[in-house]
Every structure is written in structure tokens, then in C-alpha cells.
Amino acid sequence: MDARIEDRAAIADLMTGWMHRDLGEWDQLRALFHPGATVEITWFDGPATDFVDGSVRMGASDLRTKHVITSPSTTFNGDRALAQTNAMVIAENTALELGVTAHNRFWDRIEKRDGVWRITKRQSFYDMSYFNFPARVQEIDEKAVRGFPREYAALAYLLEKSGFPIVREFPTRDSALEAEIKAAGIAWLNEA
């Protein structure tokens, strides 16, 4: 029997708890993170508390998101864990009548403090994205799309058109940046 079954269940709940973001349940979203946690995703890089505040602003905009999240693959060392979780981001700007689907993997550093597992650092690797046209085919600025890495170009384009600029380049599948982030996460885990 897996001695970590309760820990794995608690971490799986953290990962699927991301749905609170899509539902506008801001207090529950805040509860996923330990104090001092950080988030690094396409439109945000900084403290998790500021990320939730930005998500509130996004929730009040024409941009809607839904995250479909799988069970995480988790590695433990004491009261630390690394979780890699496949996810699919479905986003639509209702005013623009433009949507995207993006496939990513969350890479989370998670700690158990005072008996509770919470995220201390969330990063994301991007695998692929493509446009959806919910009502009618839109004209897309191809030059603007090509300004982003192919793996998240459609998502980045929609976010920017919706008023949420991309803050920097993010890791894509099998990139040097992905390898660097994974190595740093493994080093952090091994420090426990």
C-alpha cells in the first residue's frame, strides 16, 4: 500500500482546486497557496496574492477561462513535493468572439506546513495551443501571433487582445528553459 496515499490525495485536491479560479471563488483560490508563494504563467509572474487579485480583474473582463486538469505525477521528499500536472486551458473573449485551447503542464513546488499541503511556487510549461472560433471566423494578425513561441502563440494572442499582456518568454516542451526549471525544482526538492 502507498504510504503517501493521503498526501497524494491532498495534492490532487490542490491541483483540481484551480477550478476556483474559473468559478470566481477567490478565497478558495487563495487557500491553495502558502504565504509567500509565487506564480509564473503567461500573463503573470509574481506573488500568488497578486495573481489572485489579477484573476479577479480578469474574471470581471470579457475573457472567460476553464481549466481541465488531470491527476498530478508527484515526487516527495519529506514535507516537500514536486507535482507535474497536465492541464488544458480553454479561453474565450466573448466580446471578440474568439477563443483558444492550450495544453500545458503545471510544475508545482508544494510544501506541507503545520500539517497542510499548499503550493509554494507554480510554474507552467506550454505544449501547444490553437484558435477556436465560437461564432464566426475572426481575422487574426498573423504577424502578432508569430511573435510568440508556437506552443502558446494562440493563448498569448488572445490574452494580449483581452488586455492581459504576456510578461516574458515561458518554457515550452523540451526547451532549455523547461530543463532549467525542472533542474531547479529537483534541487529544491533534494534540499529537504
pTM for the full predicted model: 0.94
Which tens digits make up the pLDDT trace of 135-170?
777 789 999 999 999 999 999 999 999 999 998 999
Spell out the alpha helix ranges (H) of 34-191: 48-59, 142-145, 153-161, 176-190
pLDDT for residue 3: 78
Which tens digits make up the pLDDT trace of 78-122?
999 999 999 999 999 989 999 999 999 999 999 999 999 999 999
Contact 40, 124 (CB under 8 A): yes
Please return the burial class of 84, using the count of CB atoms within 10 Å of its CB with bins 0-12, 13-18 and 19+: middle
One of 3.10.450.50, 3.40.50.1100, 2.40.10.340, 3.40.630.30 is the CATH number of 5-183, namely: 3.10.450.50
Which tens digits make up the pLDDT trace of 59-75?
999 999 999 999 999 99
Quick one: which of 140, 130, 134, 76 has its CA closest to 101? 130
For 105, phi then psi, to 5°, come to: -130, 125
Give domain limits for the chain. 5-183
Q: Is the pLDDT of residue 1 over 70?
A: no
Q: DSSP readout, 55-73? A: HHHHHTSSEEEEEEE-PPE
pLDDT for residue 146: 95
